[in-house]
A and B are shown apart, each in its own frame.
Chain A
Amino acid sequence: MSGHESLKDQVAAFALGSLPDDEHRFFLEHLRQCAECRAEVQALAAVTGLLGLSAPDAEPPAGLRDRVLARVGGARPVLAGRAPRSPAWLATAAAIAVAAVSTIWAAIATGRADRAERQLGTASSRLAELESTTAALVGRQVHMVSLAAPGQRPALRVIWNHDRNTFLVIAASLPAAPAGRTYQLWAIAAGRSPVSMGTFKPNADGTGTAVLPVSEAVTALGFIDQCGLTLEPEGGSPQPTETPRLIGTWSHLD
């Protein structure tokens, strides 16, 4: 019982969100099994939830309301309407199509029918990939996260299409995964354990795309603050086994 008594101190720190990450995870595991601590956390969370109201009253600047609404008003299809900006990462997706088409032309031009046929097969699957890529980009509710090392250009972007319930992963410059390892993306929500968004491997040149379905576990988080990337054993892990190599915060794509 004394062991459990010491956990009571953790309850308070947990309700305040002031446990270090490792202890937070450990305690979360405990909460799954302990109804007593769960009830305690809920009771204290009703208190900590109100602490924010004790901040000194401050007048928000004029115009903030408009900016708040303008931000959500940007939730429009990214490929519709006025010509969208053409960010570099979108070129990665477009390059897939260009490469597919140009290799076929090259094969036809040199009269290599067998090679052309083979490459046509590859091209079809690449075009199918592009099609799902494009589909993943179109939607009313689209969010994006860029994952970059400090001071570097983003190595990876993930686009979350709520209408289609998919994550589109676009790698721009990601080192190849070592043998027996795979990249895994994590949905990170404050106060919760990370939830896997799926695994993928970039091409040898560090680029690549993948469309991952949004799992129920991710949806159950309600909202996601951040997205993290780790290297995991083949097949992925239930929980990350390392600190994220790259991390980014979700934002609206408009």
Chain B
Amino acid sequence: MDKPTTTNPVDRGLLERIAAGDERALGELYDRYGRTVYSLALAILREPADAEEAVIDTFNQVWQSAASYDASRGVVAAWLCTIARSRALDMARARGRRARALERAASLDALAGFEPSAVSDPGLDLGLGELRQLITRSLAALPEAQRQVIEMAYFGGLTQSEIAERLAEPLGTIKTRTRTALEKLRGLLESQRSEAAS
């Protein structure tokens, strides 16, 4: 089965140079993805100063582990998001600010439609812009309750039981809803992608 994404050869080249210790390549990677990583960190942490720290940590980790990037496991943007999310959630936990991260998840939920920003960043290549549109449109197409559980887990860093508790619903319901939501999201991404390709 095709994955809903493709790996950009420019990104792959950059990671190879980073793995070889080329700092300029890290700068170029930042130019491509710094904004994406910062936006994600800010969505989780809410405080610009904390988000900055998470970005620095994220790129530092990329610097250390570029050699371990495996293109068959996803695009560079996804890999970076995974690292950034993990750093940001760790920071939120360490600082006892999970409650605020949670509020963020709730307020993200209120952003109906999740329309991508109208301002296009010249630093973002087309591939990344398309990916953003793809995921935001697909998320927007999910029923409200399904989008909510995904966002609480992803941006709020909550476990399934914590989500169940907060929404005052049975754990089994939340688990099934999460699964249904992700599977639907996968279907939406694939159909949107083939639409875009045709």
Chain A residues engaging chain B, CB cutoff 8 angstroms:
8-13, 15-20, 42-61, 64-65, 67-69, 71-73, 75, 141, 143, 162, 190-191, 221-223, 225-226, 249, 251-252
Q: Which of B90-143 contact A (CB under 8 A)?
A: 90, 94, 108, 111, 114, 116-117, 119, 121, 128, 131-132, 134-136, 139
Can you show 27 pairs from A to B with CB atoms below 8 A apart? A9-B178, A16-B153, A16-B178, A17-B86, A46-B74, A46-B186, A49-B77, A49-B78, A50-B131, A51-B150, A52-B40, A52-B85, A52-B154, A53-B128, A55-B39, A57-B39, A57-B117, A58-B39, A58-B42, A67-B56, A71-B59, A71-B60, A72-B60, A223-B61, A225-B86, A249-B94, A251-B60
- What are the 8 tightest A-B residue pairs by CB atom distance, in nearest-first order? A52-B81, A49-B78, A222-B68, A223-B65, A57-B117, A12-B179, A55-B43, A18-B153
- Name the prevailing secondary structure of the B interface residues: helix
Give Cα A9 to B172, complex, Å. Answer: 9
> Are the C-beta atoms of A47 and B186 separated by less than 8 Å?
yes
By a CB distance below 8 angstroms, the chain B residues around A68 are 26-27, 30, 34, 55-56, 59-60
> Are the C-beta atoms of B3 and A46 separated by less than 8 Å?
yes
> Are the C-beta atoms of A49 and B81 separated by less than 8 Å?
yes
> Are the C-beta atoms of B189 and A50 separated by less than 8 Å?
yes
> Are the C-beta atoms of B27 and A65 separated by less than 8 Å?
yes
Q: How many A-B residue pairs have CB under 8 A?
A: 201
> Are the C-beta atoms of B175 and A13 separated by less than 8 Å?
yes
B137 — nearest CB in chain A belongs to which residue? Answer: A54
> Are the C-beta atoms of A60 and B159 separated by less than 8 Å?
no
Distance of B45 from chain A, by nearest CB (Å) = 11
By a CB distance below 8 angstroms, the chain B residues around A249 are 90, 94
Pick from B67, B108, B185: contact of A47, CB under 8 Å = B185
By a CB distance below 8 angstroms, the chain B residues around A67 are 52, 56
User: What are the interface flags for B156-184 relative to A under an 8 Å C-beta threshold, 1 for contact and 0 otherwise?
Assistant: 01111101000000001001101101110
B196 within 8 A of A: no
> Are the C-beta atoms of A65 and B135 separated by less than 8 Å?
no
> Are the C-beta atoms of B1 and A43 separated by less than 8 Å?
yes
User: What are the interface flags for B19-50 relative to A under an 8 Å C-beta threshold, 1 for contact and 0 otherwise?
Assistant: 00001001100110011101110111000100
Distance of A56 from chain B, by nearest CB (Å) = 6
> Are the C-beta atoms of B52 and A9 separated by less than 8 Å?
no
Contact of A12 with B175 at beta-carbon distance under 8 Å, contacts A17-B153, A48-B154, A249-B90 already known:
yes
> Are the C-beta atoms of B65 and A12 separated by less than 8 Å?
no
Contact of A222 with B65 at beta-carbon distance under 8 Å, contacts A9-B178, A53-B77 already known:
yes
Q: Which of A44, A64, A226 has the most CB of B within 10 A?
A: A64
Give Cα A16 to B156, complex, Å. Answer: 11
Give Cα A10 to B150, complex, Å. Answer: 14
Give Cα A162 to B21, complex, Å. Answer: 13
